[in-house]
Structure 1
Amino acid sequence: MSDLKVDGWTVEKLHDHHAQALRESRVLYDSETEHQRLRVFENGTFGRVLTLDDVVQTTEGDNFIYHEMLTHVPILAHGAAKRVCIIGGGDGGMAREVLKHASVEHVTMVEIDAGVVEFSKEYLPKLSQGAFDDARLNLVIADGAQFIRETEGGFDVIIVDSTDPVGPGEVLFTDTFYGHAKRALSEGGILVTQNGVPFLQGEELTNTMRAFKALFSDATCYLATVPTYAGGPMAFGWGTDSAARDVALSELQQRFDNSALAPEYYTPEVHKAAFALPGYVAKLMP
């Protein structure tokens, strides 16, 4: 349904005892694909909003927080990342931020749903900002779990930009998937994951961290607050066998200055502080 006028609300009922609602000023897209229901509507605060099965995935207004923190933190902490793999991320926002790093030579993006990519190009071009046309990007339409299981790997950074652990995204939260992802990392590589809002999805973080601690010498999470992900700060899983998390602030600042990035949320200070966990989040760590 294109250009349909709607005077109503989208109500997200992801959690059993909590819901959030966003007013729709206009619905731009509403269609079922093979895998899920895709919708794009306009909101007075957040601009265009993408939902999958009525769960908010990203918005024009605040997507920069999520995408910057899942890309710049591992890439700048690594310091020499040349090959990056993105699992998911069909809207192109994650690729947009990764490709801002001139030092990154190759990006493999694995998205299960070609429909997400195509309609994002048309209805959410502000998210990708031309990333799909970058010669360094290799877009693979495939199941991310199967791809990781079969790939030879050699990735310096793997970013799991998944939906919540329901439907097509559920397999991306399993111990088996994380094990295959570690194998696909190069020496000193870093795996980062989307792990929901700990206040409302604590079990999700605990389960991921239990798997990470069995796989990596350095396993933890870091936080960022994204307004449309209700319930407090969002957690991002961090797993590596390197000392990348301990990079000095001065070195991080130098890498940032040399990168010529101009982010809206990320700073080296925010990078370091994001790993300081509130008590209730620390208690969720196994």
Structure 2
Amino acid sequence: MVGGANGRWVVETLYEKEGFTCAFRADKVLYEEETGQQHLVIFENGLFGRMMALDGITQVTERDEFIYHEMMTHVPILAHGNAKRVLIIGGGDGGILREVIRHRSVEHVTMVEIDPAVTDFCKKQLPQISAGAFDDPRLNLVFADGAKFVEDTDESYDVIIVDSTDPIGPGEVLFREEFYRAAHARLTPGGVIVTQNGVPFMQGDELKSTMEKFRRLFKVASCYLATIPTYVGGPMAMGWGTDDETLKAVPLEELEKRYAAAGLTTRYYTPEVHKAAFALPRYVETCVKV
């Protein structure tokens, strides 16, 4: 957080070592604290609305959160076609949970968040993101280390969504092969795991690292893309790991049927976008196939 002629600015530090930063003007700081796990600040910005940053890295904004949350959720659930049990690792703001419970076919959701302060603050300061999802009776909310939870649980899931921070601080363990191996063991036959893998143009090594590990564990190791304005540098990659080779190639007509049957109303996701998201630019394809 820095001062200036136009007030306080929250500086995005993710690429600072590489020589690049951007900043968001904090028109009003709503909350700022060292939670014990990480530094959290929630503030209002004239363009993006309410925003949250953890350890200097933007996590979510009111203006464009729907893109990330819809694509992280509806792509794996509709590709699966019969997901009844979903595990969310991270996602303390509740946006992934909000989208998951919109699927009536989902019978149970376990959400594991390491920092209860993040969830508490988001309920109070960013309630529009969770939109009451934390009250859904299908939810089992667990405050714990996501990597340890996956290692210790004997439950199985059709879809696992890893809504992690970048591999810095508490989120680092969620990018290790040990975690991916444990998650693989928790998937039901035909299950799929989706991971947050950053912006490949800026963070190509992060995607390469995940794909190397996925290839050792899954029959299908790939990613799909979504363009989210807040996360600068190009489209964001969502890692894709599964042993079911058919999930990546569900016909458009079938996706349209599943989308209609789910009764969803979305602002970014469409069955056409779903199919197109797996068409990768060469520089991203290179990261996937290293």
TM-score normalised by L of structure 2: 0.96
Once the two structures are superposed, the pairs formed by residues 118-197 of structure 1 within 5 Å of their partners are 118-197=120-199
Q: 1: distance between equivalents of 2:169 and 2:236?
A: 20
1:103 to 102, 105, 111: 105
1:7 counterpart residue number? 7
Q: 2: distance between equivalents of 1:127 and 1:54?
A: 20
Q: Name the SS of the counterpart of 2:21 in structure 1.
A: strand
Are 1:214 and 2:216 counterparts?
A: yes
Q: 1: distance between equivalents of 2:68 and 2:21?
A: 20
Once the two structures are superposed, the pairs formed by residues 26-105 of structure 1 within 5 Å of their partners are 26-105=28-107
Name structure 1 gaps, 5 residues minimum: 1-5
Confirm or deny: 8 A CA contact 1:7 1:26 kept in the other structure: no
2:233 to 231, 234, 246: 231
Q: Percent identity?
A: 61
1:3 counterpart residue number? none
1:249 counterpart residue number? 252
2:266 counterpart residue number? 263
Are 1:278 and 2:281 counterparts?
A: yes
Instruction: Give per-residue Cα distances to partners, 1:190-226, cap 9 Å, x unaligned.
Output: 0000000001110000000011111111110000011
Residue 13 of structure 1 aligns with an amino acid whose one-letter code is T
Quote the RMSD (CA, aligned, Å).
Answer: 0.8
Residue 119 of structure 2 aligns with an amino acid whose one-letter code is V
Structure 1 residue ranges (4+ consecutive) displaced by more than 3 angstroms after TM superposition: none
Instruction: Give per-residue Cα distances to partners, 1:18-50, cap 9 Å, x unaligned.
Output: 111111110000011110011100011111000
Confirm or deny: 8 A CA contact 1:153 1:186 kept in the other structure: no
Residue 249 of structure 2 aligns with an amino acid whose one-letter code is D
Residue 31 of structure 1 aligns with an amino acid whose one-letter code is E
Aligned length: 281
Confirm or deny: 8 A CA contact 1:153 1:183 kept in the other structure: no
Per-residue deviation at 1:153?
2.9
Q: Name the SS of the counterpart of 2:14 in structure 1.
A: strand
Per-residue deviation at 1:155?
0.1
Q: 1: distance between equivalents of 2:62 and 2:96?
A: 13
Q: 2: distance between equivalents of 1:18 and 1:221?
A: 25
